[in-house]
Structure 1
Amino acid sequence: MLTEAAYHRSLAAFARQVNQAAADRYGLVLRYDGASVYWWLRGRCPEQPAPELIAELLAARLGRAVQASDLGFAALAADADAQALLFPTSVPAAIENAAGLWRRLGGTSSSPAIPDSSAPFVANAAEQAGWRWHFDPPDASVARAAGRPVDAMDVQVLRSCAEQFLELDRRHGGGHARAFLGDFLTRDVAPLLRGRYPDTVGRELFAVAAELTGMAAFMSFDIGDHGAAERGFIQALRLSKAAGDRLHGAHILANLATQAIFLGLPGEAVRLAQAAVEGAGRRPCATVAARLHATAANAHALTGDRQGFEKAIARAKRALDCADATAPAWVCYFSPAHLAGTAMRSLLDLGQPGQALRYRQQALDLGPANMRTRALHTALTATAHARAGHIDQAALLALQTLQLARRIRSRRVAARITLLADVLVPHQPIAEVRTFLDQLPDQLLAERTGQAAGG
């Protein structure tokens, strides 16, 4: 492409154009020269945002669309997923890392609702990102002097859209809207981040971009796409740092801890949850504090640490008792019912189904918008009843769970139902249990068979 664009005769001139584009668009000082281009031609991949700038310069010269993925960089092609595991050093790199991830999350409504991700969850990358978020110096400024002008009204429009995506996720599960959110981030949010804004507007813009990216990551987690989820959480963490929003960053770390709990990684879960609690500061918002301590309680329970669980759940309860209407929108969902569900899950992990059932009524005291949580908590309550020997009650709640799950596209819900089915299988002679097992969707039956085959 360099030859076709007649840049091959002066590699130094092309390098100067890349440097100038970085200065004009990002206010970033790059010092590429002809030798840099020589090594690019031999496969060395420059850091972002250079690949995006190279693609734009070539597109303008050739008169056709050119993507960074078209450039032939071996590292860019082989390590696209690895790039999203990194915690970018600069704000421009954070924008381009996030934009690259959003493009991969996007798609059409015909995309699979529950994809099988080829990207793994990398525990060390999550912990490294948490360390960098905690200890890297803050960004002195996020202002940009080039691009389309962005103002507070643009940010407000994004916040309104975020509320709608959040409601879709809670009502119908992550499989319902992730591709649409990825497209929205690519089409609407990325151009704004690449626009022109003062530092104050920029901080708000990065804050809402972090919320939306964290939401896309949670949708990925909910549908079992754990590699994409981790990468989304890491990029959301970096955007939160650019926004100067430590509370949201701590919330994202807690989401990574929750993912580690789901994946059965107790040591990583405890470390991430503790980093979230410490990173939120000494006097965080009460609702945020409650959510963080609840995650820590669940992580301690997974390790079998009863004392650690009790201390953390007590802190969560005290914090939630002090909650008021000043909590950020992204954490307002966390209610006494969510805390009760966490306590139930933790006590089941500790082998205490009878104590878990003390929380059953509160765990189901949910508003109509929390359809996924209701399905999760109903299955959890049924499992507690089954393990406590209350098979009739467990079977009744199991059937209710299937009814709730029909309109929810969530692998977490499916996993909770699968676990419940495994507990009820020995009680098949009971008619209600047999009815529940007969009504299991084919997908869940396949998952149960696969788990049994894998030991």
Structure 2
Amino acid sequence: MTNSAFEGLLRAAGYGNAHAAFARQLNHAGRNEGAWRYDAASVYWWLRGRRPAEHVQAAMAETLARKLGRSVAARELGFGAVDSIGMCSYPASVDGAIDTAEQIWTRLAKHLNQHASGAFDSGKALEAALGWRYDLPDEAVSRNGRQQVTSTDVQSLYALADHFTDLDRRHGSGSPRTRAVMADFLVRQVAPMLRGTYTDAVGRDLMRAAATLSGQLAFMSYNAGEHAMAQHHVTLGLRLAKAADDRLYGAHLLANLATQAVFLGHAREAARLVEAAIDGAGRAPAAVLTRLYATAATAYGQSGERRACQLALTRAERALDRTGTDPGPRWVNYFSPAHLAGAALRCLGDLHLYTQALRHSSEALTLGNQNTRTRALHTALIAITHARAGDTNAACNWGWKLTQQAADIQSARVQQRVRQLTTTLSPQRASPPVNEVLHALAVMPAAM
């Protein structure tokens, strides 16, 4: 089906038989957005129904307006209104994933609708899990564009991902500027690479690198409390991981989505998501299985499924014992015994098994110096568990430690744990030690 509105505007502006000329002018109009490489083929696909991103539509309207001598509204182009929640939909094709990537990276880079992009959609999350698990693999991802992409180019993207991962773990990456800078790099450098020229082998690796970057940006957005934006990016990452034919990283991203669902209280949906991740991962390395089963335990613990929770914990512990001989991909190296102990502390606490939960306290804090946010999260969890178990003195002691650890961390998740501790201790505020801790918690800097 032809987009007759767009076709009519092209004809009126003298571009009816000059699609390449229109594409050149469009690239010039969008020069501040990065190195655009649209051509006549791009115009052909837009006429056949492919939907360009919002900022591209704005440049189209500007280009046509100059030729027509009148203003042109983006809605006149015939592409329809943007549904920001629709960006959570799992792209059906690799081309659709590339278009979606450019759209949502640009939105974040420009701070567009950052706080108005909607809420986490558990239904869309489950649809993404089904698409990732059961859609047929992509036969080929090679592409012919104007920018040649090599293996060396792709390796530089992994180095960038490592940099932002380290920044996230040390400081929480709650600053909107940090995420906007990363998104700006993706728009200016990675999006043109995705539209470039590459072989199938290089393309698979490029998709994997782009999935890694999108997954990191998703986790940073989740940590900042931007849940719809996080879901957009993790869904995109899932599709890119599918194109890369990397089922392990896809399972990791799906487990991240489950972790976000647990944070937001969607326990049953979280369990379904991580079950799909475990199923899709297949005969995965022990390190990957440790992380997946730990996530499953937190989902089952929150939903009150004691037997399933304890079984998942047991499987995670058994897998952990095998990690020395079966380490898995580099990206899973972050998940340490301390992370598993933190998961056990949480899920057993959710099941009101406080004594069992607190047995994991010491190991939950055996973290590297770079894991400042995780240390604060685990410290808060220990304080909350003591408070729920009725040991107010211990809860206060751990609460004081939390005020020291979390002072410089920008994280909505840490702030949520602070609120949970405050709520749990508040009935005892008549006690001077409790009142002092509550006051100290209240004056801590809020998340950005």
TM-score normalised per structure 2? 0.85
CA–CA distance in 1 between the matches of 2:329 and 2:287? 9
In the TM superposition, residue 238 of structure 1 has moved relative to its aligned partner by 0.6
Q: Deviations over 1:231-260 (max 9, x none)?
A: 111111111111111111111111111111
Do the aligned residues in 1 keep the contact of 2:98 with 2:194 (CA within 8 Å)?
A: yes
In the TM superposition, residue 329 of structure 1 has moved relative to its aligned partner by 2.8
CA–CA distance in 2 between the matches of 1:443 and 1:74? 50
Are 1:155 and 2:154 matched, yes or no? Answer: yes
Are 1:166 and 2:165 matched, yes or no? Answer: yes
Q: Provide the secondary structure at the position in 2 that maps to 1:333.
A: coil
Which letter maps to 2:93? S
Which ranges of structure 1 fall in alignment gaps of 5 or more residues? 37-45, 447-455
Map residues 116-135 of structure 1 onto 2, 5 A cutoff.
116-135=115-134
Aligned counterpart in structure 1 of residue 11 of structure 2, from 7, 12, 16: 7
Q: Provide the secondary structure at the position in 1 that maps to 2:143.
A: coil
Q: Provide the secondary structure at the position in 1 that maps to 2:328.
A: coil
CA–CA distance in 2 between the matches of 1:249 and 1:262? 20
CA–CA distance in 2 between the matches of 1:381 and 1:51? 46
Are 1:93 and 2:92 matched, yes or no? Answer: no
Map residues 331-370 of structure 1 onto 2, 5 A cutoff.
331-370=332-371
CA–CA distance in 1 between the matches of 2:159 and 2:53? 33
Do the aligned residues in 2 keep the contact of 1:106 with 1:182 (CA within 8 Å)?
A: yes
Deviates more, 1:421-430 or 1:262-271: 421-430
Do the aligned residues in 2 keep the contact of 1:25 with 1:147 (CA within 8 Å)?
A: no
CA–CA distance in 1 between the matches of 2:79 and 2:161? 31
Are 1:412 and 2:416 matched, yes or no? Answer: no
CA–CA distance in 1 between the matches of 2:152 and 2:130? 34
Do the aligned residues in 1 keep the contact of 2:53 with 2:102 (CA within 8 Å)?
A: no
Which letter maps to 2:321? D
CA–CA distance in 1 between the matches of 2:149 and 2:173? 30
CA–CA distance in 1 between the matches of 2:82 and 2:10? 29
CA–CA distance in 1 between the matches of 2:77 and 2:429? 55
Which position in structure 1 is the counterpart of 2:292?
292
Which position in structure 2 is the counterpart of 1:305?
305
Is the alpha carbon distance of 1:330 and 1:107 closer, same or farther for their aligned partners in structure 2, counting shifts above 3 Å?
A: farther
Deviates more, 1:327-336 or 1:225-234: 327-336
Is the alpha carbon distance of 1:160 and 1:6 closer, same or farther for their aligned partners in structure 2, counting shifts above 3 Å?
A: closer
Give the length in aligned residue pairs.
Answer: 426
CA–CA distance in 1 between the matches of 2:370 and 2:231? 26
Q: Deviations over 1:306-348 (max 9, x none)?
A: 1000111111111111114743232211011000100111011
In the TM superposition, residue 429 of structure 1 has moved relative to its aligned partner by 3.4
In the TM superposition, residue 400 of structure 1 has moved relative to its aligned partner by 1.2
In the TM superposition, residue 47 of structure 1 has moved relative to its aligned partner by 3.1
Is the alpha carbon distance of 1:194 and 1:381 closer, same or farther for their aligned partners in structure 2, counting shifts above 3 Å?
A: same
In the TM superposition, residue 364 of structure 1 has moved relative to its aligned partner by 0.6
Is the alpha carbon distance of 1:28 and 1:315 closer, same or farther for their aligned partners in structure 2, counting shifts above 3 Å?
A: farther
Do the aligned residues in 2 keep the contact of 1:214 with 1:232 (CA within 8 Å)?
A: yes
CA–CA distance in 1 between the matches of 2:221 and 2:446? 22
Which position in structure 1 is the counterpart of 2:378?
377
Do the aligned residues in 2 keep the contact of 1:148 with 1:195 (CA within 8 Å)?
A: yes
Do the aligned residues in 2 keep the contact of 1:26 with 1:145 (CA within 8 Å)?
A: no
Is the alpha carbon distance of 1:386 and 1:427 closer, same or farther for their aligned partners in structure 2, counting shifts above 3 Å?
A: same
Is the alpha carbon distance of 1:293 and 1:438 closer, same or farther for their aligned partners in structure 2, counting shifts above 3 Å?
A: same
Is the alpha carbon distance of 1:186 and 1:9 closer, same or farther for their aligned partners in structure 2, counting shifts above 3 Å?
A: closer
Aligned-pair identity in percent equals 41
Do the aligned residues in 1 keep the contact of 2:204 with 2:244 (CA within 8 Å)?
A: yes
Which letter maps to 2:150? D
Which letter maps to 2:370? A
Map residues 222-233 of structure 1 onto 2, 5 A cutoff.
222-233=223-234
Which position in structure 1 is the counterpart of 2:402?
401
CA–CA distance in 1 between the matches of 2:400 and 2:77? 52
In the TM superposition, residue 277 of structure 1 has moved relative to its aligned partner by 0.5
CA–CA distance in 2 between the matches of 1:126 and 1:194? 27
Are 1:205 and 2:206 matched, yes or no? Answer: yes
Which position in structure 1 is the counterpart of 2:193?
192
Which position in structure 1 is the counterpart of 2:145?
146
Which letter maps to 1:99? E
In the TM superposition, residue 28 of structure 1 has moved relative to its aligned partner by 8.6
CA–CA distance in 2 between the matches of 1:416 and 1:393? 16
Do the aligned residues in 1 keep the contact of 2:287 with 2:327 (CA within 8 Å)?
A: no
In the TM superposition, residue 58 of structure 1 has moved relative to its aligned partner by 6.7
Q: Deviations over 1:46-102 (max 9, x none)?
A: 3335988877777677779xxxx9622699674341331121122111101011111
Which position in structure 2 is the counterpart of 1:260?
261
CA–CA distance in 1 between the matches of 2:316 and 2:386? 25
CA–CA distance in 2 between the matches of 1:139 and 1:29? 24
Which position in structure 2 is the counterpart of 1:319?
319
Deviates more, 1:417-426 or 1:369-378: 417-426
Which letter maps to 1:286? A
Which letter maps to 1:374? R
Q: Provide the secondary structure at the position in 2 that maps to 1:439.
A: helix
Is the alpha carbon distance of 1:326 and 1:312 closer, same or farther for their aligned partners in structure 2, counting shifts above 3 Å?
A: closer
Q: Provide the secondary structure at the position in 1 that maps to 2:288.
A: helix
Do the aligned residues in 1 keep the contact of 2:143 with 2:196 (CA within 8 Å)?
A: yes
CA–CA distance in 2 between the matches of 1:406 and 1:76? 47
In the TM superposition, residue 117 of structure 1 has moved relative to its aligned partner by 4.2
Is the alpha carbon distance of 1:422 and 1:15 closer, same or farther for their aligned partners in structure 2, counting shifts above 3 Å?
A: same
In the TM superposition, residue 3 of structure 1 has moved relative to its aligned partner by 10
Do the aligned residues in 2 keep the contact of 1:15 with 1:32 (CA within 8 Å)?
A: no
Do the aligned residues in 2 keep the contact of 1:25 with 1:146 (CA within 8 Å)?
A: no
CA–CA distance in 2 between the matches of 1:133 and 1:27? 29
Which position in structure 1 is the counterpart of 2:32?
none
Is the alpha carbon distance of 1:75 and 1:398 closer, same or farther for their aligned partners in structure 2, counting shifts above 3 Å?
A: farther
Which ranges of structure 2 fall in alignment gaps of 5 or more residues? 27-36
CA–CA distance in 1 between the matches of 2:332 and 2:142? 27
Do the aligned residues in 1 keep the contact of 2:403 with 2:444 (CA within 8 Å)?
A: no
Which letter maps to 1:8? A
CA–CA distance in 1 between the matches of 2:400 and 2:179? 28
TM-score normalised per structure 1? 0.84
In the TM superposition, residue 265 of structure 1 has moved relative to its aligned partner by 1.1
CA–CA distance in 1 between the matches of 2:63 and 2:164? 35
